[in-house]
Structure 1
Amino acid sequence: MQEKSLRQLLDEARRQIEVTEDELVEARRRRQLLANALERAFPGSTIYFNGSVAHGDANTPLTDVDLGAKLSPVDAEGFGPDGSDALPLMERARDAIREDLADEFPKLTVEVAGRRRAVLVRFGDPVTAGQPDFTADVMTAIPHPSREGLYIPNMEIPDKWDRADPITHTEMVLEAIDMTEKTFARAVRLLKHWNCTHSKPLCSWNIKALALESITTPMPLIDALQAFFAHAAREFKSGQTQDPAGVAGPIPLNLSISEVRKRMDTARDYIDLAIQHEAEGRPLSAQHALSRVFPEIVPDADPTQEEAARLRQEVLLSGNAASGLGVVTVTPALISTRAWGA
C-alpha cells in the first residue's frame, strides 16, 4: 500500500467525517426559524447558539442543533430556584415553534413533558440523507443575579434550575479556533469521532473543555492529539474536568473515571507510538498505531516487515533481541482493536 505521513492520514480522516456545506446551510436555516419563533415568544430576549454547529466542529451525519433564549428581566420575573420552574416558559416556546414551523414541517413534533432541560423539536425531516430525523434542543434560560452565566432548567433536581454559561462557552471555543488557525476545530472533530467509537467516555463539551487547555496554538494535528491525550490523562488523575467558564460544576462523565483514564492512557500511548515510528522511518508501523485510535477512518497497515527490520537492527547494534515498544510486541494494550485496554 502507498505509504502516507501521519499528517496525510489525519487530513484524510477529518475530511471523511466533517460536516458538508449543504448540511450546515440547512441546519442553520432551521435554527434561524427556531430563533425567530423564540424572539416572537419572548420579546427582548437574547437568542444564543451553542453546540457543534455554533462551535464550528460538527461532524456528518448532522442530526441536531442547539440554541436558547436568555430571557429579558420582564419575562424572567418570578422564575428561578426561589420561584417557579421552567415549565411555563418551555410551553410558551413550544407553542410558538409549533405555530411558526408546522406548515413547512408537517411531521413536526415539539416535546416538553418529561424533558429535563430543553424543549425537544423533532422536524420529521432529516438534514443528512439516510438519517431518521433532525432535532433541536431549545433552552429557555434566565439571567443569573450575579450577571455571570445563566440559570438553565433542570427539572430533575429540587431547585429545578442549574447554573451554566453556554454563551461564554461558545465565545471561548470560537476564540480557540481563531487562535489555533482552525487546528482546535479539526482536532475536536477527530476527538469526537474517537469518543464515539470507544464507548463514549466523555460528552462533547468535556472534550472541548480539555482541548481549550491543551490545544492553544497552531500545530500539526498529530501534535494536537498528542497534547490533548497527554493533558487529559494527567487531568483525570485528579478528578473530573472543571467548567472552563468557572460557573457550573464539574463536567459529568459517561463512564467511571477509572474507565475514562484507561481509554485516555491507551490512546495517548498509541499516539506517542505513532509519532515515534514515523520519526524513526517506519510509516506503516506509524499508520498501524494510529489506526488503533481511529479504526474506522484510518486504514490499518501491515507493519510486519518494518518491525522485523527494526528488530534485526537492534540485534546487530546490541546483540539482544530487545522488544522495545514495537507494535508487534505482544502486549494486550497494543494488540487491541480499539484504543483502550479492554
Structure 2
Amino acid sequence: MVRKETLAQLLDEGRRKIQVTDEELAEAKRRRQLLAASARRAFPGSTTYYNGSVAHGDANTPLTDVDLGVVLTQKDAEPYGPGKKSALDLMEKVREVIHEDLDDEFDKLTIEVEGRRRAVLVRFGDPVTQGQADFTADVMTALPHPSGRGLYIPNTKIADQWDRADPITHTRMVLQAIEDTKVVFARTVRLLKHWNCTHSKPMCSWNIKALCLDCLDEPMPLINALQVFFTYAADEIDKGPTPDPAGVAGPIPLNMPRADVHKRLCTARDYIDLAIEHEKAGRPLSAQHALHQVLPELVPDADGTQEEAGRLAQTVLAGGTAASGLGLATRLITPTRPRAWGD
C-alpha cells in the first residue's frame, strides 16, 4: 500500500535531511572562534562579528564555510576608507596573524588575499563535513562608518575600494525573526536555499532572507510559509531588486535576469498553491507530486494519476467537464513535467 503523508510531514522530513548536524556546527563555530581571536589580536581594541548561515541559524549540510568580520577602532580606521587607503594591508595583516596562530593545528592551511573582492579567504585543508573537499572562512576587515550606522567593508573591484553595509544589523534582524516565528523563519530559509540550489541559483541566499524578513513575522506551518514567501517574492521581484533590509547598502543583485527569476518564483508559487489545494481536497499523492516539483531532492515523487482520474470523474458526474476544476492542475500533475524552473 502506498504510504500517504501530509505536506507538513513531508516538509519536516525534508528539512531534517539538510539540517546541519550538531557535530558540524560545533566544529565550525570552534574554528570561527579561533579566527576571531586572531583577528582581534591583529588589531588590538577591535571587535568581531559573525554573519552568514552559521550565525543566522540556517546552515544546511554539508557545511563548507563560515563568515566573520573584524571592525577596527576609530583611531586605527582613520587612514582607510573611500578616498583613502584600501584594505589590502589590513588583509595582509590578518593573513599573517592567522598563520601564526593556526598553522600548527592546520598544517594544510592556506590564506588568499590577492584577487579577493571583500574578504580574506581561509582554506583549512581539513573539511568539517566528512566527504567534502575542504572547509573555508571569509574574514572581512571592516571600518566603523562615520555616521554610526553600518560599516565600510572592502570592495577591491570598485574605484572607491570600500562599500557601505551593515552585516551586524542583518544578523540581529534574522535572529529576531527566528524568535518571532518560533524557528519557522530559519526552517523555511533552509528549504528555500535548497530550492534555490536545485533551480539554477536565481538569487543569493541573502536575497532570500531579505525577502523573508518582509513577509515571515509569525509562527505558521512550513507549507504556508513557503506559500507566503513565493507569493510575496514573485510580486516584489516583479517590481524590482530587493532593497537592503538595514537601509544602508544598495539593492541586492540577482544571479540571472530579473524576468527569469520572476518566472521561477511564479512557477514555484503555483506548485505550492496546487499542493495545498490537492491536500485540502483529500488528494495526498497529488499534493506530494506537486511539492516534489519544488523540492525534488527532499520530497519523493508520488503518482497521483488515480486521484486525478477520480477528481475528473466526480466533476463530470456533478455536471461539469473534465477540463474544469483546478485550471492548471492537469498540466501541473503530469509526472513528466519539469521541476519548478518555469521553463
TM norm. shorter chain > 0.5: yes
Matches within 5 A, 1:152-231: 152-231=153-232
Which SS does the other structure have where 2:331 is aligned?
Answer: coil
CA drift of 1:338 comes to: 1.5
Matches within 5 A, 1:1-342: 1-325=2-326, 329-330=330-331, 336-342=337-343
CA drift of 1:339 comes to: 0.7
CA contact (8 A) 1:315 1:322 kept: no
CA distance in 2, matches of 1:332, 1:221: 22
CA drift of 1:8 comes to: 0.1
Q: Which deviations, in whole Å up to 9, do the C-alpha atoms of 1:128-150 show, x marking residues without a partner?
A: 00000000000000011111100
Structure 1, gaps ≥5 residues long: none
CA distance in 2, matches of 1:236, 1:95: 43
Which SS does the other structure have where 2:291 is aligned?
Answer: helix
Query: 1:227 and 1:93, CA in 2 relative to 1: closer, same or farther beyond 3 A?
Result: same
Aligned length: 342
Which SS does the other structure have where 1:330 is aligned?
Answer: helix
CA drift of 1:70 comes to: 1.0
CA contact (8 A) 1:285 1:327 kept: no
CA distance in 2, matches of 1:122, 1:323: 58
CA drift of 1:327 comes to: 7.1
Residue type of the partner of 1:321?
A: A
TM-score (normalised: structure 2): 0.98
Q: Which deviations, in whole Å up to 9, do the C-alpha atoms of 1:71-123 show, x marking residues without a partner?
A: 11122111000210000100011101111000000000011011000000000
CA contact (8 A) 2:58 2:186 kept: yes
CA drift of 1:237 comes to: 1.3
CA drift of 1:201 comes to: 0.4
CA contact (8 A) 1:333 1:340 kept: no
CA distance in 1, matches of 2:144, 2:304: 57
Residue type of the partner of 1:76?
A: A
| Structure 1 vs Structure 2 CA RMSD | 1.4
CA contact (8 A) 1:66 1:138 kept: yes
CA distance in 2, matches of 1:50, 1:141: 13
Query: 1:147 and 1:157, CA in 2 relative to 1: closer, same or farther beyond 3 A?
Result: same
CA drift of 1:321 comes to: 1.6
CA distance in 1, matches of 2:336, 2:253: 30
CA distance in 2, matches of 1:333, 1:134: 41
TM-score (normalised: structure 1): 0.98
Which SS does the other structure have where 2:30 is aligned?
Answer: helix
Q: Sequence identity of aligned pairs in percent?
A: 69
Residue type of the partner of 2:296?
A: P
Which SS does the other structure have where 1:222 is aligned?
Answer: helix
CA distance in 2, matches of 1:319, 1:238: 38
Structure 2, gaps ≥5 residues long: none
